[in-house]
Amino acid sequence: MRLHRPPLPRTRSRRRRAGVVAGALGAALALVLATLSTSVASADTAPAVPDPSEIEPGEAYMGISLDLADGGAPDRQPAPRQPTTGVQGIDVSNWQGSINWSSVRGAGIQFAWMKATEGTTYTDPRFDANYPAAHAAGVIRGAYHFALPDRSSGATQANFFASNGGAWSADNLTLPGVLDIESNPYGSSCYGLSTTQMRSWITDFYTTYKARTSRDVIIYTSPSWWNSCTGGWSGMASLSPLWVAHWTTANSPTLPSGFSVWTAWQYTSTGSVSGVSGNVDRNKFNGSRDRLLALANNTP
Q: Are residue 111 and residue 185 in the same domain, yes or no?
A: yes
> Are residues 166 and 71 part of one domain?
yes
Question: Where would I find the beta strands (DSSP E) of 64-208?
Answer: 87-92, 109-118, 122-123, 140-146, 178-180
Instruction: State residue 258's pLDDT score.
Output: 96
- Angstrom distance (rounded) from CA 240 to CA 4: 32
How many CA atoms lie less than 13 Å away from 194 in the CB half-sphere? 2
Q: Which pLDDT tens digit goes with each residue over 140-192?
A: 999 999 999 999 999 999 999 999 999 999 999 999 999 999 999 999 999 99
Q: How far out from the chain centre does Cα 205 lie?
A: 18
**Given this model, what pLDDT does residue 33 score?**
39
- Catalytic, out of 59, 75, 118, 182: 182
> Residue 59 domain-assigned?
no
Does residue 39 fall inside a structural domain? yes
Same domain, 123 and 229: yes
Strand partners for 231: none
Does residue 92 register a pLDDT over 90? yes
Question: CB count, 10 Å around CB of 276?
Answer: 25
Residue pair 93/28 in contact (Cβ under 8 Å)? The answer is no
Residue 2 placed within a domain: no
CATH code, domain carrying 115: 3.20.20.80
| Number of domains into which the chain is organized | 2
The number of angstroms, rounded, from the C-alpha of 45 to the middle of its chain's C-alpha atoms is: 19
pLDDT band at 37 (very low <50, low <70, confident <90, very high): very low
State how far the Cα of 77 lies from the Cα of 267, in Å rounded to an integer. Answer: 10
Q: Which domain holds residue 32?
A: 20-49
Confidence bin at 57 (pLDDT 50/70/90)? confident
67 is catalytic: no
Q: In terms of pLDDT, which residue wins out, 54 or 33?
A: 54
The pLDDT value recorded for residue 51 is: 65
Q: Catalytic residue at 182?
A: yes
Q: What is the pLDDT of residues 229-276, one digit of tens each?
A: 999 999 999 999 999 999 887 889 999 999 999 999 999 988 999 999
Share of the chain above pLDDT 70, in %: 76
Q: What is the pLDDT of residue 60?
A: 84
44 labelled catalytic:
no
CA separation for the pair 237, 159 (Å, rounded): 22
| Residue 142 sits in the same domain as residue 179 | yes
Q: Which of 59, 75, 124, 180 is catalytic?
A: 180
* SS3 state of residue 65: helix
Considering the domain boundaries, does residue 45 fall inside one?
Answer: yes
Q: What pLDDT, on the 0 to 100 scale, is given for residue 22?
A: 41
37 plus 76 within the same structural domain: no
The amino acid present at 291, given as its one-letter code, is: R
Q: Is residue 220 part of a domain?
A: yes
Q: Over range 37-46, report the average pLDDT.
A: 42
Can you give the pLDDT at residue 113?
Answer: 98
* 114-123: pLDDT as tens digits: 999 999 999 9
Query: Given a cut of 70, is residue 73 above it in pLDDT?
Result: no
Q: From 117, 119, 122, select the one nearest 142 (Cα to Cα).
A: 117
Q: What percent of the chain has pLDDT over 90?
A: 68
Same domain for 147 and 33? no
Q: Establish if 77 belongs to a structural domain.
A: yes
**Residue range 195-200: mean pLDDT, rounded:** 98
* Residue 166 maps to a domain: yes
The answer to whether the beta carbons of residues 190 and 228 sit under 8 Å apart is yes
Q: Which of 91, 118, 124, 216 is catalytic?
A: 91
Kindly state whether residues 173 and 75 are assigned to the same domain: yes
Q: What is the pLDDT of residue 1?
A: 30
Do 27 and 82 fall into the same domain?
no
Same domain, 41 and 180: no
What is the mean predicted confidence (pLDDT) over 212-224? 97
Q: Do 144 and 117 share a domain, yes or no? A: yes
Higher pLDDT pick, 264 / 76: 264
What average pLDDT does the chain have?
Answer: 83
Task: Using alpha carbons, list the distances in angstroms from residue 273 to 170, 175, 284, 293.
Answer: 28, 21, 14, 22
Q: Domain check: are 95 and 147 in the same one?
A: yes
Closest CA to 263 of 285, 231, 248, 235: 285
- Residue 224: per-residue pLDDT: 94
Cα dihedral 206/208/213/215 (nearest 10): 20
- Please determine, for residue 196, whether its predicted confidence score (pLDDT) is greater than 60: yes
Same domain, 247 and 216: yes
Q: Is 270 helix (H, G, I), strand (E, B) or coil?
A: strand
Q: Name the pairing type of β-strands 280-285 and 87-92.
A: antiparallel
Predicted TM-score of the model (pTM): 0.81
Residue 56 located in a structural domain: no
